[in-house]
């Protein structure tokens, strides 16, 4: 990838040098992807043999009023490790699925996806390909030749994959509710139902982050001189990754209740990374960047946390920050970034919370 700075100059080269590469990529092996999870600084390039291709289907992300197209391409490496690459928007529709499916009946189809972002959900890593994503199909490069050679003897025809459950187009749109309208609802009967609430932040819990497992985001605990994930199906042993878990009490004129915000959702509100706040504040202290949220009014898209059912303590997970309200007037939130989209998934400290993927537009709140 190329990064443009204020010192970058662009010069047109009319005669293309002979040595100019036809393919540009810097491959990350599938098993190394967890180490670049959620890295937004750099794009990731991956090589694989196509095993499955889904249709491109419209999906309405939580934060959008329009549909976007989504297609999943599954690839594998020599060891058989499988990886889903989700293509969005124009990338989903322009992917040559039919041709690849046809050619893939007889011979391995090797693709290098470049310009993708690595995402994790419930312990599974996937790649997300938006407008920055590009692909090379059966490129004439050594890595692809090596993979073709090793796949030839074990080649299975490329399959047509049905779209998975959570990517079906959403049929309902979150409606505005008062806090008293939702906090007494049956959490099991209203599992995964989303509402919009406009609430003022009244209290912030003093524990605002936790040590998360790098792979599945659940709580990881000290284990000898390292950490072990508390999720029995994951049990990853590795250094922990601090992650926001902001627990607040907020309410409107009808009542108040508990809301929980994780990871990037909390970061959108706080506008600082969790690492920066941990580094600059003594343990047990709630940083000013967080306490300044007190008395502020926001519109959130929320649903019951899974913990509500298991613990009996009513709590809502914030899926999206829809707006900040100033003196009764909404301050518009500016979407930053474009098609480079993916599933934004929220995870709970103890249990993973399944939520519908949304388009990954990052929303930044204007500075006060
Ligand atoms: Zn884990």
User: SS3 for 308?
Assistant: helix
What CATH number does residue 268 fall under?
2.40.50.140
| φ, ψ for residue 166, nearest 5 deg | -75, -5
Q: Determine the Cα angle at 169 with ends 167 and 173, to 5°.
A: 120
CB atoms within 10 A of CB 330: 14
318 DSSP β-pair partners: 302
Cα(225) to ligand 1 centroid in Å equals 17
Please, what sign has the CA dihedral across residues 271, 346, 320, 259?
negative
Cα(121) to ligand 1 centroid in Å equals 10
Do 319 and 66 touch, CB atoms closer than 8 A? Answer: no
Q: What is the pLDDT of residue 227?
A: 93
- Same domain? 182 vs 304: yes
Of 144, 167, 190, at which residue does a domain stop? 167
Cα(223) to ligand 1 centroid in Å equals 13
Residue 24 belongs to some domain of the structure: no
Domain of 142, in residue numbers: 30-167
Per-residue CA distances from 201 to 222, 258, 294, 322 (Å): 33, 10, 5, 15
Cα(212) to ligand 1 centroid in Å equals 8
Cα(220) to ligand 1 centroid in Å equals 7
Residue 152: exposure state from Cβ atoms within 10 A (0-12, 13-18, ≥19): exposed
* Residues of the chain where predicted confidence (pLDDT) is lower than 50: 165-171, 334-368
CB atoms within 10 A of CB 153: 7
- Same domain? 154 vs 204: no
Cα(300) to ligand 1 centroid in Å equals 28
120 DSSP β-pair partners: 125
Residue 22 belongs to some domain of the structure: no
- Same domain? 209 vs 105: no
**C-alpha–C-alpha distance, residues 265 and 301, integer Å:** 11
**C-alpha–C-alpha distance, residues 210 and 137, integer Å:** 42
Residue 120 falls in which region: left (phi positive, over 0), alpha (psi -120 to 50) or beta:
beta
Structural domains in the chain (count): 2
Cα(218) to ligand 1 centroid in Å equals 6
Cα(92) to ligand 1 centroid in Å equals 30
CA nearest 167: which of 272, 265, 55? 55
Cα(175) to ligand 1 centroid in Å equals 34
Cα(171) to ligand 1 centroid in Å equals 32
**C-alpha–C-alpha distance, residues 270 and 248, integer Å:** 13
CA atoms within 13 A on the CB side of 20: 6
Of 132, 167, 202, at which residue does a domain stop? 167
Cα(24) to ligand 1 centroid in Å equals 33
User: Which residues fall within 8 angstroms of residue 69, CB to CB, at 6 or more apart?
Assistant: 56, 57, 58, 59, 88, 89, 90, 92, 93
Q: Which two tokens stand for residue 162?
A: 């049905």
Cα(130) to ligand 1 centroid in Å equals 27
Residue 244 belongs to some domain of the structure: yes
Cα(191) to ligand 1 centroid in Å equals 24
- Same domain? 274 vs 226: yes
Residue 5 belongs to some domain of the structure: no
Cα(48) to ligand 1 centroid in Å equals 25
How does DSSP assign 180-239, residue by residue? HHHHTS-TTTTTT--EEEEEEEEEE-S--EEEE-TTT-SBEEEETTEEEES-TTT--BS-
**C-alpha–C-alpha distance, residues 223 and 286, integer Å:** 27
**C-alpha–C-alpha distance, residues 4 and 53, integer Å:** 34
Residue 1 belongs to some domain of the structure: no
CA nearest 191: which of 356, 320, 306? 306
Cα(229) to ligand 1 centroid in Å equals 5
Of 105, 138, 167, at which residue does a domain stop? 167
How does DSSP assign 42-87, residue by residue? S-EEEEEEEEEEEPPEEE--TT-SS-EEEEEEEEE-TT--EEEEEE
- Same domain? 155 vs 179: no
Residue 152 belongs to some domain of the structure: yes
Q: What is the pLDDT of residue 307?
A: 84
Cα(235) to ligand 1 centroid in Å equals 6
Residue 157 belongs to some domain of the structure: yes
**C-alpha–C-alpha distance, residues 179 and 23, integer Å:** 54
- Same domain? 200 vs 225: yes
Cα(123) to ligand 1 centroid in Å equals 6
- Same domain? 211 vs 334: yes
Residue 34 belongs to some domain of the structure: yes
Cα(16) to ligand 1 centroid in Å equals 48
- Same domain? 98 vs 207: no
Q: What is the pLDDT of residue 49?
A: 95
193 DSSP β-pair partners: none
- Same domain? 123 vs 210: no
- Same domain? 186 vs 317: yes
Query: What residues does the ion ligand 1 have nearby, CB within 5 Å?
Result: 213, 215-216, 229, 231, 234, 236
Q: What is the pLDDT of residue 183?
A: 93
- Same domain? 195 vs 125: no
- Same domain? 335 vs 255: yes
Cα(52) to ligand 1 centroid in Å equals 27
CA nearest 104: which of 142, 70, 138, 57? 138
């Amino acid at each position: 990838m190329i990064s443009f700075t204020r010192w970058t100059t662009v010069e047109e080269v009319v005669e293309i040098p002979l040595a100019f590469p036809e393919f540009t990529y810097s491959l990350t092996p599938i098993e190394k992807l967890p180490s670049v999870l959620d890295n937004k600084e750099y794009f990731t390039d991956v090589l694989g043999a196509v095993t499955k291709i889904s249709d491109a289907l419209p999906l309405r992300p939580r934060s959008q009023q329009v549909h976007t197209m989504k297609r999943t391409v599954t690839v594998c490496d020599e060891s058989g490790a499988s990886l889903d690459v989700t293509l969005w928007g124009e990338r989903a529709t322009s992917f040559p699925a039919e041709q690849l499916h046809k050619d893939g009946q007889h011979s391995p189809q090797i693709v290098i996806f470049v310009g993708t972002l690595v995402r994790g959900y419930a312990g599974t890593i996937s790649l997300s390909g938006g407008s920055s994503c590009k692909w090379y199909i059966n490129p004439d490069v050594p890595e692809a030749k090596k993979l073709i050679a090793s796949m030839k003897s074990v080649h299975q025809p490329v399959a047509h994959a049905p779209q998975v459950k959570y990517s079906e187009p959403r049929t309902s749109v979150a409606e505005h509710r008062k806090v008293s309208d939702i906090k007494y609802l049956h959490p099991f009967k209203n599992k995964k139902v989303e509402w919009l609430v406009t609430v003022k932040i009244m209290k912030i819990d003093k524990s605002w982050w936790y040590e998360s497992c790098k792979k599945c985001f659940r709580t990881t605990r000290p284990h000898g001189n390292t950490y072990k994930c508390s999720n029995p199906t994951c049990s990853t042993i590795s250094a922990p990754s601090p992650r926001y878990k902001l627990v607040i009490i907020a309410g409107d004129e009808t009542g108040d209740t508990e809301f929980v915000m994780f990871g990037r959702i909390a970061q959108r509100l706080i506008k600082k990374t969790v690492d920066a706040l941990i580094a600059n504040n003594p343990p047990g202290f709630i940083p000013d960047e967080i306490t300044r949220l007190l008395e502020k009014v926001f519109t959130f898209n929320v649903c019951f946390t899974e913990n509500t059912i298991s613990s009996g303590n009513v709590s809502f997970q914030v899926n999206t920050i829809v707006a900040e309200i100033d003196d009764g007037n909404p301050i518009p939130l500016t979407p930053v970034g474009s098609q480079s989209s993916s599933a934004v998934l929220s995870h709970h400290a103890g249990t993973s919370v399944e939520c519908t993927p949304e388009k990954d537009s990052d929303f930044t709140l204007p500075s006060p």
